[in-house]
Structure 1
Amino acid sequence: MDHEVRITLRLPADLHEWLVSQAKTARRSLNSEIVYRLESERATVEAETESP
């Protein structure tokens, strides 16, 4: 990451609990889990956009 931006994010409690659980399973911080999932989704969308 070249530049980081700090944001405040409001999540439904059940989504937060699920993300915390997923992060623990993957041995990542909650922040890292959210970034990992967003980057993965972005890569998927970009790949779909590039395909004819």
Structure 2
Amino acid sequence: MADEKEREQSIHVNTSQETRKLLLNLSRRLDLSQAETIEKALELLDQNNPQ
């Protein structure tokens, strides 16, 4: 049971890291206001998923 919960947490962290990477790559291609919106989303993601 503990292994299952640990595996789920690991998947969640990996998904969060992948999401963060994709958002960072996307923000580099956008204009400033869109990039700022993504930066804010990344900050919220970090707050909700502390590393």
Normalising by structure 1, report the TM-score.
0.45
Normalising by structure 2, report the TM-score.
0.46
Structure number having the greater helix percentage: 2
Question: Comparing both chains, which one has the higher relative contact order based on Cα–Cα distances under 8 Å and sequence gaps of 6 or more?
Answer: 2
